[in-house]
Amino acid sequence: MRKMILLFLVLLSFSPATISLAAQDWSQPVFGVVEAGAHPDAALQLGAKWERLTFHWNMFQPGGPDDFNTDAISNAALESARAAGRQVVGLIKDTPPWASDSGSAAGVPRGLDLPVDDPANYFAHFVNRLVPITASRASITGSSGTNLIFAPAKARSSSRAKWKTTIAC
């Protein structure tokens, strides 16, 4: 009986259905590296298709919503990603003190409950300024290839109830 089961498993492994499953081409960028720009050659050798870059909101707008410091964007990291054909996933962190009730870098931004086109929705206002700049600098074969995710590091669970999910653009 064992020989029959073994023979069946061996024959099954050569069946067309099994072979076609193994030969599927993954067109989605499955494997990525966090901060790959620090070691671009290693990321290239690993075959990374995307990388995560961190954007510190408090560095872009230290004094208020009218500030926008484009020097806070690492052009070298974006260029490295573009040259290697890697998609950029941007993590936005460090809420500026003026944008949250707590004044903490981990504070939930004020105005998240407002429409995205409301100037008092500080996070949406910031993202609307950040996306076009980073997308143009990280463009890969004509598409933006940029995703931005906001995840405050230590926001209290009671504060998170305001916005319920991670905001992604």
Condensed to tens digits (0 to 9), the pLDDT of residues 101-142 reads 898 888 889 998 899 889 999 999 998 888 888 776 665 333
What's 163's DSSP letter? T
3-state helix, strand, coil in the chain (%, to 5): 40, 15, 45
CA dihedral 156, 162, 168, 169 (to 10 degrees): -140
Give whole-number Cα distances, 151 to 17, 41, 168, in Å.
42, 28, 10
52 touches 34 (CB < 8 A): yes
Residue 68: pLDDT band (50, 70, 90) is very high
| Confidence at residue 50, expressed as pLDDT on a 0 to 100 scale | 80
What's 143's DSSP letter? B
More confident position, 16 or 126? 126
97 touches 104 (CB < 8 A): yes
